[in-house]
Amino acid sequence: MKTTSAYPATGESVENSTAPVTEESGGQPSLIDWRNIAKPLLAIVAAFLVFYFLPVESARLQEAVISSLALTKWYAREHVLLCLVPAFFIAGAIATFVSQAAVMKYLGAGASKVLAYGVSSVSGSILAVCSCTVLPLFAGIWRRGAGLGPAIAFLYSGPAINVLAIVMTARILGLEIGIARAVGAILFSIVIGFLMYLIYRKEEAQKAQAALHLPEAPVTRPLWQNALQFALLVMVLIFATWSRSEDASDRLWNAVFSVKWWLAGIAAAALGGILVAWFRVKAAKVAVGAAVVIAFALFFPGRPLAAFSAGILVFGWLLASTRGETESWFLSSWDFAKQITPLLLGGVLVAGLLLGQPGTEGIIPSEWVKRWVGGNSLGANLFSAVVGAFMYFATLTEVPILQGLISAGMGKGPALALLLAGPALSLPNMLVIRSVIGTQKTVLYCSLVIVLSTVCGMLFGTFF
């Protein structure tokens, strides 16, 4: 006859219990499953020890915390509104208006390798984005069915092949390192993408086979309309992030900078017209939104970011309040934003805490970095590539940072290694990539970038 028993303290039945029975327990099964307790217990103990022994009186820790918060504040002000939010809308547009069949045709696993890698490897010359801004765009084309190789080539080249950054590198750090950076970045994007394709070729072959059975997507509007829509979105992103060149001879570049907000406004106004003409958004709503943006521009003439922020809110409201394609566009953009933004901000916090920001110290002393990147040894190049991979570089900031490190004794080989690994990777960048393609592919991608940057740095340092 089956019997049950209960412990007085809990009243829980132990019938059918799978817990182990020991002699010390008098034949009664244990309620403790150490397999489920071990990980959270270790996490709690580790957190307790960290806070118990936290050296809050340490000047270095205080400076690192302040640097971390300051870097995150700067990132939120300079990049979230100007770079990330427009990138979210572009990624949402890709997910909504670009058919999976079209992506598979040109960037899919079964697409022409010359076309797919050719387009992906030079994308950075058009998009002047950092390692974080490129992430929504990468996630967008990946989810629409792009092959792993072309998607990775786009992911690397987006922030690495920045025309102004390469020109600044050549003028400030030397022509040879500028040329090496440009050639290395293009070759890296192709080589790393193709290696990722080869390693996961079975998975890619299955994706290509599945693409053969995809039905042709119905054409809702002509290709030229979609192209114009994306061109205007990209123009807003480019002009909003256009920076001044420190070289006075760059007159054309600085002339564009002087009218950047007018150019961004013209592109935004054209987008408003498209919303009315092609997306059935009411003209009255667009007019009200335009009036709000103009009002902010007039009341805050010295703060163009205020009008730009109002424009972002208005644009989101127009998409979300109109049924149909625009509503889907808004929801797709929101999906990217809620997935990527927390990881990016958390990653920037950690990167600032560990490495500080330009001009300040993190937990890892900058003297260590300067001491370990002198000469052209394997260790110096590898250390430079690893530090560059984990540190966050905003667009163009890597050049003055390297100028200071080189003047402090950094070798040219390690400098190039940092230039090839740093702009394309960062700790927040890695966290988001992992959420898109998984841990294994992320570790492999980052390892390839670090190894190739190290090898390229050693070769460059040997000859120069």
pLDDT digits (tens, 9 = 90+) for 388-415: 888 877 666 677 677 667 765 778 899 8
User: Which band of pLDDT confidence, cut at 50, 70 and 90, is reported for residue 163?
Assistant: low
Query: Is the pLDDT confidence value at 185 over 70?
Result: yes
- Winning range, highest mean pLDDT, from 14-18, 118-122, 220-224, 328-332: 328-332
Whether 342 is in a domain gets the answer no
First vs last Cα of the chain: how many Å apart?
A: 87
User: Which band of pLDDT confidence, cut at 50, 70 and 90, is reported for residue 443?
Assistant: very high
pLDDT for position 313: 93
Asked if 60 and 363 touch (Cβ cutoff 8 Å), the reply is yes
Query: Is the pLDDT confidence value at 106 over 70?
Result: no
- Winning range, highest mean pLDDT, from 219-223, 244-248, 426-430, 458-462: 458-462
Q: Which of 66, 26, 19, 132 is nearest to 363 (CA)?
A: 66
Question: Which residue(s) pair with 13 in the sheet?
Answer: 6
Query: Is the pLDDT confidence value at 18 over 90?
Result: no
pTM value > 0.85: no
Q: Which of 34-38, 196-200, 357-361 has the lowest mean pLDDT?
A: 357-361
Query: Is the pLDDT confidence value at 139 over 70?
Result: yes
Tell me the average pLDDT across 350-368: 74
Tell me the C-alpha distance between 314 and 408, whole Å.
Answer: 48
pLDDT per residue as tens digits for the range 218-260: 556 777 888 898 889 888 888 887 877 776 677 888 888 889 9
Whether 442 is in a domain gets the answer yes
Q: Which of 40-49, 64-73, 338-347 has the lowest mean pLDDT?
A: 338-347
pLDDT for position 458: 92
Cβ burial of 216 (10 Å; 0-12, 13-18, 19+) is exposed
Whether 90 is in a domain gets the answer no
Tell me which residue has tokens 């080589």: 191
Locate the DSSP E strands across 89-210: none
Whether 373 is in a domain gets the answer yes
* Domain housing 368: 355-463
Burial 336-364 (b: 16+ CB within 10 A, else e): bbeebbebbeebbbbbbbbbbbeebbbbb
Asked if 148 and 196 touch (Cβ cutoff 8 Å), the reply is yes
Copy the structure tokens of residue 11.
């009243």
Q: Which of 461, 463, 464 is nearest to 374 (CA)?
A: 461
pLDDT for position 348: 76
Alpha carbon of 127 to those of 18, 87, 124, 132, 162: distances in Å?
58, 10, 5, 12, 7
User: Which band of pLDDT confidence, cut at 50, 70 and 90, is reported for residue 124?
Assistant: low
pLDDT for position 157: 83
pLDDT for position 308: 92
Tell me the C-alpha distance between 149 and 130, whole Å.
Answer: 20
User: Which residues contact residue 51 at a Cβ distance below 8 angstroms, ignoring those fewer than 6 apart?
Assistant: none
Tell me the average pLDDT across 410-423: 88
Which DSSP symbol is given to 80? I
pLDDT for position 13: 45
Tell me the average pLDDT across 69-90: 81
Whether 166 is in a domain gets the answer no
- Mean pLDDT estimate for the chain: 80
pLDDT for position 243: 78
User: Which band of pLDDT confidence, cut at 50, 70 and 90, is reported for residue 7?
Assistant: very low
Asked if 159 and 395 touch (Cβ cutoff 8 Å), the reply is yes
Whether 155 is in a domain gets the answer no
Q: Which of 236, 232, 234 is nearest to 124 (CA)?
A: 234
Cβ burial of 412 (10 Å; 0-12, 13-18, 19+) is buried
pLDDT for position 5: 45
Structurally, the chain folds into a number of domains equal to 1
Give just the sign of the alpha carbon dihedral 237, 238, 243, 244: negative
User: Which residues contact residue 449 at a Cβ distance below 8 angstroms, ignoring those fewer than 6 apart?
Assistant: 156, 188, 192, 385, 389, 420, 421, 424, 425
User: Which band of pLDDT confidence, cut at 50, 70 and 90, is reported for residue 417?
Assistant: very high
Whether 239 is in a domain gets the answer no
Q: How many CB atoms lie within 10 A of CB 413?
A: 28
Q: Which of 128-132, 275-279, 366-370, 447-451 has the lowest mean pLDDT?
A: 128-132
Tell me the average pLDDT across 199-214: 72
pLDDT per residue as tens digits for the range 289-317: 999 999 999 999 888 889 999 999 999 99
HSE value, Cβ hemisphere, 13 Å, CA-based, for 100: 12
Tell me the C-alpha distance between 453 and 383, whole Å.
Answer: 11
- Tell me the residue length of the chain: 464
Whether 360 is in a domain gets the answer yes
